[in-house]
Amino acid sequence: MPLQLYLGEITTLQVLPASGYLSACVVDSVFSGFWLLSPLVTSNIMSSEVIHTGGCHCKSVRWQVEAPASVVALECNCSYCSMRGTWGFSVPSSKFKLIGDSNEFISTYSFNTHTARHTFCKVCGITSFYTPRSNPPGKAVTVVVSCVDPGTISHVEIRHFDGRNFEKSYERLAQRELK
């Protein structure tokens, strides 16, 4: 599927050059609302799924996730995500698996509605995955793109989500999905 057809209502695109293990990033500088904030967000890209591995900086927390090589990652501007500065892509919980004794090194932080579960390593403090507010616990996991081991991600599309106005943004998304 051509990129322009998939992006739909994107108004401004910027292509970032390849760096490290990412081949390129397409950045939407204006919130379009066309993306899907659901457990199936990554299945909407026409790409075969691969096994990605990743984890935290000290490698105490390790995981594997089944997802396309080309992913759609969200950049949220809520108070927590904007301070962290990370991009993440969501997968159904059934496609995410902790490896080894990783669970022993995980701590969780939540705030406001206490729906989202922001997990981080007790040793190095890195958040490599979390449970998003948009999905009940056990339904989806969001993986932080920069915590995926090099070699399996071929493309990252960044879409912006207005997390500071979560209810309005989520309602707008639901209305677009019904059309």
pLDDT at 136: 61
Q: Is 167 part of a structural domain of the chain? A: no
pLDDT at 27: 40
Strand partners for 119: 108
For the chain, list residues with pLDDT below 70: 1-47, 134-138, 170-179
Flag whether the pTM goes above 0.85.
Answer: no
Q: Which helix (H) or strand (E) holds 79?
A: helix 79-84
Q: Which domain holds residue 133?
A: 14-162
Give residue-wise pLDDT tens across range 91-126.
Answer: 998 999 999 999 899 998 878 777 778 899 999 999
Supply the CATH number for residue 110's domain.
2.170.150.70
Q: Is 49 part of a structural domain of the chain? A: yes
Q: Is 73 part of a structural domain of the chain? A: yes
Q: Is 5 part of a structural domain of the chain? A: no
pLDDT at 137: 62
Residue 44, sorted as left (phi over 0), alpha (psi -120 to 50) or beta, turns out to be alpha
Q: Is 179 part of a structural domain of the chain? A: no
Q: Is 93 part of a structural domain of the chain? A: yes
Give residue-wise pLDDT tens across range 166-176.
Answer: 777 766 655 55
CA-closest candidate to residue 50, choices 154, 141, 142, 132: 154
pLDDT at 23: 36
